[in-house]
Chain A
């Protein structure tokens, strides 16, 4: 390949007990957007870390622009023009945009720092290259997530020496309309001849913006789609999981029964006058953009925030949640959107996390009955197919999908009536995703009520019976999911379509 810019050739990397990369290869041509997809644990992040000089590979070679990079260190890769846009933002909230862009690469003027010059350069870069206008004196904490992401990109690219930019899950924290801003910026970078390596779980993004795609599976690069135009998301999924995925979503044949949870004119910070009724055996979806009040509503039902007015009834009994413990005792449990901060105690083991909410059940005179704890954990591990199946594994080391299963396993031990699932499959690979959907379906069939709040319209239509759409703090519409089209849901969610009055 004559225009091959970056080539990772036959890279192998093993960790104790795991072969993370098995002669995996990746080649990126100049001026292309190259997608990298694979399930969690397929080796995507490992090869990114090898490329970043974080991991030292056991074998293999990195060539950039025809020159072999050896050793691969953060410095040598940077010098060769590779830049990384990590998943985490690493920005200081109290810094201004200019300070953030030039952090660690400040420009000196005649008298100390050249603040004016840096500001002009930062603003010009954001405007000309990324096509957004953000004033250089704005504070990071006042910016939206998408804008922060763009500042992060500006910071990596401001020295104009970038040849290859690696985006690691850049849209994970973004709402869908924010993604468009980012996609636009990426297209502009490509126009400037910069190559992009784009790592994402969102296959629609991959098919939209990538020219070529490499698929990883079990530490190997199993296939390269040279012409993504001719392929669909289904083709990619098939390559990722190594089998034809019949359907991600379970059959929807549930019969909702008696009313379980009722909200009436329920209001709190970020939402108001929310009324709906969740029946036993029903899965109710909540759609809405970031800022629609979706997150606040879920948090308030769970007692993480206080409601200001209105009523919440569970089985006709009016409840007032002052803390999550109240909700849990009443039979309402939450799988939070940010499982790494709110869902799991990352340094603790699978067993410690699974039993954390039901410690009384494994207590004998206040002491922990470790045998019971282990036995209960093993039951959940096998029921949910958590991998690795070691109860003593620290959960930080698990993949996203398996971490989510640990959170779910904890609540399965509790036998709750109402499950609140907030973004249940963010950062979860395709295989685990369909398992989670099947589990949610089974919970509803067994008579629980489930509320799924999600920014993925396909997911909502796929698993829910009804979908409440929130906008600016209110429910604007409740839609029957059975014959709802993706386009329709998206247009209602984004306000592109006028809605009739809400009804519950």
Chain B
């Protein structure tokens, strides 16, 4: 009979792990960093975490949308780069005002989404392979355009554009406001609208969704384009903050965005990719980077540690998914 009891308590543990594993990890890291360096807990630092996470959050929203359709987008960084490049070039070479530049940046990003949509819907290539292809093509295009990858800087950009990254409204950084607005829109569309229901349904069971009358191709095309445009908005902020376009810089957000989405899905009671979870995932990753910084570790050690934590978080998310 001990066999039975131990079995039952282990299944309870398992349940708790599946449900609350990440919250525990989140909490443990939080306490650990706070204990190590009291600065961590100060209001200014917490705001730093949020501000430093804004671009990743925006990219992760786009990723959430694509993962919800049952795919994955490896070209989010390219869309981000295109957003930055189009905006910077429009201002520098064509003297565009900030609003035109921003609109062009977002349209430039949408090209990436259109290419993905053509590959995934038109040619029926799996999202992984299709967006990987877009990633390579987009990287080459950037190298060709910049003669091998040199940055395009634009020091005298309009203040309004600069303010996307440096300004604040009532003390809240503009990039945080932009990210928050996008979060609200994404939340309403993905979690509260009938369109979101269709996206989730087709992501979970495509054939059943077709039989239920969902035009899945249209949903997919729209999703890839909207996700790319979202990432391009992240690109605008990146361009504004360093006043230049650095080719291939978007790549660094890819793994973090995927991790944030999967952490978010693991936090959801039914394991779905979701906006609130993604926000939590992004903040978790931002907290880890910030906390490691405050520990004053050697740069290389810090990088290795954050990589290990990221991969562990992904592994934990995948393990949870399997245990459901």
**When the two chains form the complex, which single residue of B3, B4, B207, B214 contacts A341, counting CB atoms closer than 8 Å?**
B207
Contact assessment for B4 and A359 in the assembled complex, using a CB-CB cutoff below 8 Å: no
A438 interface hit (Cβ, 8 Å): no
Work out how many contacts link A and B, with CB atoms closer than 8 A. 81
> What CA separation (Å) do A360 and B193 show in the bound complex?
10
Cα–Cα, bound, A348→B196 (Å): 13
Centre residue among A329, A334, A348 by max chain B CB count within 10 A: A348
* A173 interface hit (Cβ, 8 Å): no
| Cβ contact within 8 Å between B194 and A360 | yes
| In contact, A366 and B194 (Cβ under 8 angstroms) | yes
Give min CB distance, A499 to chain B, whole Å: 33
Q: Is A457 an interface residue (CB 8 A)?
A: no
Contact (A357, B201) CB under 8 Å given A58-B4, A342-B208, A368-B194: no
The smallest C-beta distance from B124 to any residue of chain A, in angstroms, reads 15
- Chain A 318-345 interface residues, beta-carbon cutoff 8 Å to B: 323-325, 328-329, 334, 336, 341-345
CA distance in complex: A325, B210 (Å):
8
B213 touches A325 (CB 8 A): yes
Residue of B whose beta carbon sits closest to that of A349: B270
Asked if A367 lies at the interface with its beta carbon under 8 angstroms from chain B, I say: yes
Contact B192 A368 (CB under 8 A): yes
What is the bound-complex CA distance between A359 and B213, given in angstroms?
10
B146 to chain A, nearest CB (A): 41
Interchain CB contact under 8 A, B198 and A359? yes
Closest to A358 in B: B213
Contact residues of B: prevailing secondary structure: helix
A226 to B177: give the CA distance in the assembly, Å. Answer: 75
Closest chain-B Cβ to A222's Cβ sits at a distance in Å of: 26
Residue picked from B198, B204, B271, most chain A C-beta under 10 Å: B204
Contact present for B201 and A56 (CB under 8 Å) = no
- Given A71-B3, A323-B215, A324-B210, do A347 and B194 touch, yes or no (CB 8 Å)? no
Partner of A342, one of B8, B201, B211: B211
B184 within 8 A of A: no
Given contacts A58-B4, A328-B213, A345-B201, contact A366 B208 (CB under 8 A): no
Q: Please, which residues of chain B bring their CB within 8 A of the CB of A70?
A: 3
B155 within 8 A of A: no
Q: Is A362 an interface residue (CB 8 A)?
A: yes
Nearest CB on A from B10, distance (A): 10
A27 at the interface (CB under 8 A from B): no
Please report which residues of chain B, range 198-255, place their CB below 8 angstroms from some CB of chain A when the two chains form the complex: 198, 200-201, 204-205, 207-215
Number of chain B interface residues as a range: 20 to 34
Question: Among the interface residues B210, B212, B272, which one has the most CB atoms of the partner chain A within 10 A?
Answer: B212
Q: Is the CB of B208 within 8 A of A345?
A: yes
Q: Could you say which of A345, A355, A362, A366 contacts B209, with CB atoms under 8 Å apart?
A: A345
Task: Report chain B residues within 8 Å CB of A71.
Answer: 3
- Residues 177-194 of chain B, each 1 if its beta carbon lies under 8 Å from chain A, else 0: 000000000001000111
Q: Does A158 contact B (CB under 8 A)?
A: no
The CA-CA distance from A410 to B194 in the complex, in Å, is: 15
Known: A348-B201, A348-B204, A394-B270. A304 touches B211 (CB 8 A): yes
CB pair B205–A341 under 8 Å, yes or no, is yes
Which one of A341, A362, A367 lies within 8 Å of B188 (CB-CB)? A367
Q: Is B143 an interface residue (CB 8 A)?
A: no
* Distance (whole angstroms) from the CB of A62 to the closest CB of chain B: 13
Q: In the bound complex, what is the Cα–Cα distance between A172 and B272 (angstroms)?
A: 32
B4 adjacent to A343 (CB under 8 Å): no
Interface residue? A224 (CB, 8 A): no
- Which A residues are in CB contact (< 8 Å) with B4? 56, 58
Check A347 against B212 for contact (C-beta < 8 Å).
Answer: no
Task: Please indicate the chain A residues that have their CB under 8 angstroms from the CB of B214 in the complex.
Answer: 325, 356
Q: Which residue in A348, A352, A360, A367 is a CB contact (below 8 Å) of B192?
A: A367
* Residues of the A chain whose Cβ atoms lie less than 8 Å from the Cβ of B211: 302, 304, 324, 334, 336, 342-343
CB distance from A382 to the nearest CB of B (A): 22
- Let me know if B126 is at the binding interface, CB within 8 A: no
Residues of B within 8 A of A355 (CB): 197
Task: Give chain B nearest CB distance to A356 CB in angstroms.
Answer: 5
List of A residues within 8 angstroms of B197 by Cβ: 352, 355-356, 359, 368
* Beta-carbon contact of B210 and A346 below 8 Å: no
Asked if B7 lies at the interface with its beta carbon under 8 angstroms from chain A, I say: yes
The reply to whether B193 and A344 form a contact with Cβ atoms under 8 Å apart is: no
| CB-based contact B200/A359 at 8 Å | no
User: Hey, which chain A residues are within 8 Å of B212, CB to CB?
Assistant: 324, 345, 356-357, 410
Tell me whether B192 and A347 are in contact (CB under 8 A): no
User: Quick check: B213 and A366 within 8 Å, CB to CB?
Assistant: no
A366 to B190, alpha carbons, bound, how many Å? 11
Establish whether residues A348 and B3, one from each chain, have CB atoms under 8 Å apart when the complex forms: no
Contact with A along B1-16 (1 / 0, CB 8 A): 0011001100000000
Complex CA distance for A362 and B4, rounded to whole angstroms: 47
Q: How far is the CA of A342 from the CA of B198 in the complex (A)?
A: 15
Whether the Cβ atoms of B209 and A356 lie closer than 8 Å is yes
Shortest distance in angstroms between A12's beta carbon and chain B's nearest beta carbon? 11
Q: Which residues of A contact B207 (CB under 8 A)?
A: 341-342
A329 contact set on B, CB distance < 8 A: 213
Cβ A304 vs Cβ B194 within 8 A: no
- What residues of chain A lie closer than 8 Å to B210, measured between beta carbons? 304, 323-324
CB distance from B91 to the nearest CB of A (A): 35
CB of B270 within 8 A of CB of A347, answer yes
For residue A309, CB closer than 8 A to chain B, the reply is no
The CA of A271 and the CA of B4, in the complex, are separated in Å by: 56
| Cα distance A359–B188 in the bound complex, in angstroms | 15
- A344 near B208: Cβ-Cβ < 8 Å: yes
| Complexed CA–CA distance, A325 and B214 (Å) | 7
- A-side contacts of B200, CB under 8 Å: 348
Q: State which residues 386-405 of A face B: CB under 8 Å.
A: 394
Point out the residue from B195, B201, B272 that lies within 8 Å of A356, measured CB to CB: B201
B residues 8-41 near A (Cβ < 8 Å) are 8
A255 at the interface (CB under 8 A from B): no
Instruction: State A346–B201 Cα separation when bound (angstroms).
Output: 9
Nearest CB in chain B: distance from A122 CB, A: 32
Check A56 against B198 for contact (C-beta < 8 Å): no
Roughly how many angstroms separate A324 CA and B206 CA in the complex, as a whole number?
13
CA distance A368 to B196 in the complex (A): 9
Q: Can you name the residue of chain B whose Cβ is closest to the Cβ of A356?
A: B212
B279 to A: closest C-beta gap in Å: 20
Q: Which 6 A-B pairs have the closest CB atoms?
A: A359-B194, A328-B213, A345-B205, A356-B212, A325-B213, A357-B212
20 contacts between A and B (CB under 8 A): A70-B3, A323-B210, A324-B212, A328-B213, A334-B211, A341-B205, A342-B207, A343-B208, A344-B205, A345-B204, A345-B208, A348-B201, A352-B197, A356-B201, A356-B212, A357-B213, A366-B194, A367-B192, A368-B193, A368-B197
Q: A345-B212, A347-B270, A352-B201 are in contact. List 16 more A-B contacts (CB 8 A).
A: A56-B7, A71-B3, A302-B211, A324-B210, A325-B213, A325-B215, A329-B213, A336-B211, A342-B208, A342-B211, A345-B208, A347-B205, A347-B272, A348-B204, A355-B197, A359-B197
